[in-house]
Structure 1
């Protein structure tokens, strides 16, 4: 444990203290029944709490009905959903782990023909009427890509939806909320000049493009105080976002520094991840640059978790050097319920991924445990 010992020191995050510095990052797993969390989901989260996670961040949790690519993603707008999540948070707390809800609005990367979007009775909304390139809705006939969205008329309506989602998360027993500001979803779409061509106070300048995300964070803080976090992915790429490097640096340095002034519990910084990059017109979409070197100095009041293929030894070294406060582990948590314990004990990540079962979320629900809760812990 000596080489990774710095990851196993307690850490104060907002008003809570987590037992170690290993966070399970949000991972869409597509196992909710008609957007309501299930007992199978509870089993999944309990396994990972029991496996030593210091802080669990829930899978992306929709603040309102949307036609996402993940047909069985959970939401947090109804009493039934709150009750389902409460079972999960109580069970996670019983294992000595804390849990945040990641609040998610997919914006333009929803589809009007998806069943949940039809039930919502609303168009697919985005900052501007600009469609994302790429995408594939495998559960829809013909596997269509993204469509042209409707520009949001009044963004304050959606800011209120975020506030209400935070209130529901608090009722459901979550210790805090993480705003999903990464991976080309709604917050990213407002920040990015290629997806936001508004000419009002919500678009144009860096200040205006950052306004929506900052106002959402203020709304979340009105509910949760200091227990509000945000995840960002300045390198972009995924879901067709990304600007030239000078504009990327200017935009995210402003957004991060202004968000830090609000007094957040932490930033989750997703560094460039090749598997999340996409190729458009023969070119990779992402704006590759060093996330820690570019933005760490702009965070003065909040903790920092680094996400994106960070191993135990690398993460421990970065903690020792004062560059980060902890690591956020993604993919390995899909296939290993005991990530933290394996890092502590020097055990390999040797469970083979069950790719067909990983994002199943369709068909016979009695089979949803396959590739989900059936991965073994280390001996």
Structure 2
């Protein structure tokens, strides 16, 4: 694994190895404020040898998230909670980016956070996503028809303020969540974006929102900005025919390459994560590395999605990726980076019942996985 453990220049930083921890929703915050159990969780993983940690998806504004107890970054209490986390990550020898997100139509008007926000469920267009369940709301309702966002620049400003707050909280950089069928992805996808103004229609118009958000983030963090995208889609009822997908994300990547950001994380197609709607899979399977790397000749590419350690080494050695993000393996292997370097077997069984918030004891399946002896 010698290539994985070489340094990498990433924006203004140099990270010691090419192993990243990707964003993992875990639902342990106190309502929307990062807390002590989260600090312990990130401390354990920062000590486990990652070159870079990306925080769980962090909301830029109060809204009815499909994830209960997901943290935010829109108020001072959240900034202070994240500051305790970034401090311990740094003291344990790692760097951390904040992944920021707006969920768009994947929210619900009856959710407590949405009610408290006092605004409608906004999306690029008034088109409901099929599927989805809000299991913490009585009756487990699905998605609703959202209100078309009247002025996208309002949300762009919220993304920028989130970056300002993340910088105050001590994050080393920011990652824009452009995947998952959430707001940025909804603007990119022609099935969820039917606007007739400058924010919809053509490839140039549908990519405008993502590019304008990135430019706003660069104003705050300079080159220390990442972008996560998932062209094969499928989640939360997004997905386009193959050629339209390549045209859209190819153009996006080409324009992103001009911006000089730290990296683009390409999430690979995963059949298990692809939604089934009307009896068929919603996504568009294709090889994201081969398809989009030609559009990103000057930008670090990180690969994410079901990558095994040996494959990660080969991807970096062959020059197909600058680095690899592991996700789920970090849950049961808090020392994943050290395990890979030492050639130790990974702990693979993960209790799916505790992947998200299990209830009273937040430590279950969260901070109770043990590091190996070295």
Normalising by structure 1, report the TM-score: 0.97
8 Å CA contact 1:351–1:376 kept in 2: the answer is: no
Q: Aligned partners of 1:337, 1:378: CA distance in 2, in Å?
A: 9
SS of equivalent residue, structure 2 residue 236: coil
Partner of 2:79: 82
Q: Aligned partners of 2:369, 2:271: CA distance in 1, in Å?
A: 25
Partner of 1:314: 311
8 Å CA contact 2:329–2:348 kept in 1: the answer is: no
Partner of 1:165: 162
Partner of 1:69: 66
User: What whole-Å deviation, never above 9, does each CA across 1:36-61 have from its counterpart, x for those lacking one?
Assistant: 10011010001001011110000000
8 Å CA contact 1:351–1:375 kept in 2: the answer is: no
Q: Aligned partners of 2:241, 2:299: CA distance in 1, in Å?
A: 27
Partner of 1:118: 115
2:327 aligned with 1:330, yes or no? yes
User: How do 1:269-284 residues align onto structure 2 when only pairs under 5 Å count?
Assistant: 269-284=266-281
8 Å CA contact 1:264–1:301 kept in 2: the answer is: no
SS of equivalent residue, structure 2 residue 303: strand
Partner of 2:246: 249
Partner of 2:347: 350
Q: Aligned partners of 1:264, 1:34: CA distance in 2, in Å?
A: 32
Q: Aligned partners of 1:48, 1:273: CA distance in 2, in Å?
A: 25
Q: Aligned partners of 2:364, 2:315: CA distance in 1, in Å?
A: 35
SS of equivalent residue, structure 2 residue 50: coil
User: What whole-Å deviation, never above 9, does each CA across 1:203-248 have from its counterpart, x for those lacking one?
Assistant: 0000000000000000000000000110000000011110000000
Q: Aligned partners of 2:161, 2:170: CA distance in 1, in Å?
A: 14
User: Which one of the candidate residues 186, 189, 193 is aligned to 2:190?
Assistant: 193
Q: Aligned partners of 1:36, 1:192: CA distance in 2, in Å?
A: 31
Normalising by structure 2, report the TM-score: 0.98
SS of equivalent residue, structure 2 residue 226: strand
Structure 1 residue runs without a partner (length 5+): none
Query: What's the CA shift for 1:351?
Result: 4.5
SS of equivalent residue, structure 1 residue 229: strand
User: Which one of the candidate residues 214, 231, 243 is aligned to 2:211?
Assistant: 214
Structure 2 residue runs without a partner (length 5+): none
Q: Aligned partners of 2:15, 2:280: CA distance in 1, in Å?
A: 41
Give the stretch that moved more between structures: 50-59 or 341-350.
341-350
8 Å CA contact 1:61–1:101 kept in 2: the answer is: yes
RMSD: 0.9
Partner of 1:296: 293
